[in-house]
Structure 1
Amino acid sequence: MKDFYAVLGIASDAASEAVRAAYRKRALQFHPDRNTAPEATDQFRDIQEAYETLSDASRRHAYDENRRRNLLDKPLETAREIWKHYLEGVLP
Structure 2
Amino acid sequence: MAERDYYKILGVERSASNEEIRKSYRKLARKYHPDINPGNKEAENKFKEISVAYDVLSDPEKRKLYDEFGEAGLAAGFDPEKARSYRQWQE
* TM-score of the superposed pair, with normalisation by structure 1: 0.69
Aligned counterpart for 1:45 among listed residues 28, 38, 48: 48
Output the CA distance in 2 between the equivalents of 1:25 and 1:66: 28
After superposition, the CA RMSD in angstroms is 0.9
- 1:41-80 equivalent positions in 2, closer than 5 A: 41-67=44-70
Runs of 4 or more consecutive aligned structure 1 residues displaced over 4 Å after TM superposition: none
Aligned to 1:78: none
Once the 2 structures are TM-superposed, how far is the Cα of residue 66 of structure 1 from its aligned partner? Answer: 1.3
- Percentage identity across paired residues of the two chains: 42
Larger Rg: 2
**1:4-41 deviation per Cα after TM superposition (whole angstroms, max 9, x unaligned):** 00110111110000000000000001001112433011
Q: Secondary structure at the match of 2:24?
A: helix
TM-score (norm: length of structure 2): 0.70
Gaps in structure 1 of 5+ consecutive residues: 68-92
* Higher relative contact order (CA closer than 8 Å, sequence separation 6+): 1
Distance 1:35 1:47 in 2: 15
Match of 1:27 among 26, 29, 33: 29
Structure 2 Cα separation of the partners of residues 26 and 57 of structure 1: 21
Q: Distance in 2 between matches of 1:30 and 1:12?
A: 23
1:17 and 2:19 matched: yes
Q: Unaligned stretches of 5+ in structure 2?
A: 71-91
Q: Distance in 2 between matches of 1:7 and 1:35?
A: 19
In the alignment, structure 1 residue 6 sits paired with structure 2 residue 22: no
